[in-house]
Amino acid sequence: MRKIISFFVFSLFVVSLFYSCGSKSKDKDTVYPKYHYVSIYKSPELNANERIEYLMWGTMLEVEDDGAYVKTNVSKDEKITNVIFSKKGFISITNISADQKKTNVINSYRVFNPLSKMRGYVDEKDVIKNPLMKGVIIKTTSAANTPNLGSLRKKILNPFIPVYFISISEDKEFYQVIGYISKNYVLPEEEEKVTPMWEPLWVYKTDVSTNKNDADMIVLCQLSINRYKNTLAQYEKDPEKNAKNYTNVIEREANDIRIALDKYRGLNSEVLEYVMSYKYKLEDILTGGSSTSSNNEEVESAEYPEEEYEE
């Protein structure tokens, strides 16, 4: 058992040495949550009872390099040995059982959240590393697993999906993106139009916005819709008991959307129209359908330049 463990540790050390000879990145690596409510954990074991923070889609996390090393820990009864490999903030823990089989592997990144000042570890599967930028799909678009949209594996994606940009086609007409959309984060009447994205897809450049404010606004709107739907479900189960809480939540969400619209100026016209429509829906609930704000209120539309990625 110990000979096998020693050989395994030596192999990891050789791999670490090999990669350490490569060129160093000029910029610090970053990772971003692939969906809403990704967890930061206290330790790289990623234990559920050690969650210290939940993250929403689009939150930037800095990967912290605590050095390259390989460690082994053997349980007192020698039934389990874990081998810890660390390189440039990436940590891999391999648990090996006494019968000399790998029982499981836990991969994570050691991260720092500049917004909350929290430090911890995120599951490698829950994040995307070093995307080019973030944006949002703003039009119904064809998507395929190659830049050739004549591909047989083609699907239709409907707005509005926050996405990370992975690469750009040689002719700069297509973006490879991966995004997150779920029925939990759209209005009930939109649920049938939801097409999940489980892998990177290529879409037309003209069907996405690279305006960061558009992406952030859509994410806030998604989270607000989720809270609204949860509260609506409770209200419909017992209107008399939950009426007050339902009204309070609607008022809070409508106010938060107003504040966000004031903060995220220069939205794309499609994004602005969608968010305003949701705001009017909330206000109509509060006023019994007599809201006139849609006729009287003016909000600044998008004139801000979109981000352009330069290689």
pLDDT in tens, the chain (311 residues): 444 444 343 343 333 333 333 334 457 899 999 999 999 999 999 999 999 999 999 999 999 998 888 887 776 666 667 788 899 999 999 888 766 666 789 999 999 999 999 999 999 999 999 999 999 999 999 999 888 767 657 889 999 999 999 999 999 999 999 999 999 999 999 999 999 888 999 999 999 999 999 999 999 999 999 999 999 999 999 999 999 999 999 999 999 999 999 999 899 999 999 999 999 999 999 998 655 444 445 455 544 445 544 44
Strand partners, 301: 267
pLDDT of amino acid 191? 94
Per-domain residue ranges for the chain? 2-129, 131-311
Per-residue buried b or exposed e for 12-22, using 16+ beta carbons within 10 Å of the residue's own CB: beeebeeeeee
Q: How far apart (Å, rounded) are the C-alpha atoms in residues 106 and 10?
A: 19
Whole-prediction pTM value? 0.81
pLDDT of amino acid 302? 46
pLDDT of amino acid 290? 55
pLDDT of amino acid 10? 37
SS3 21: coil
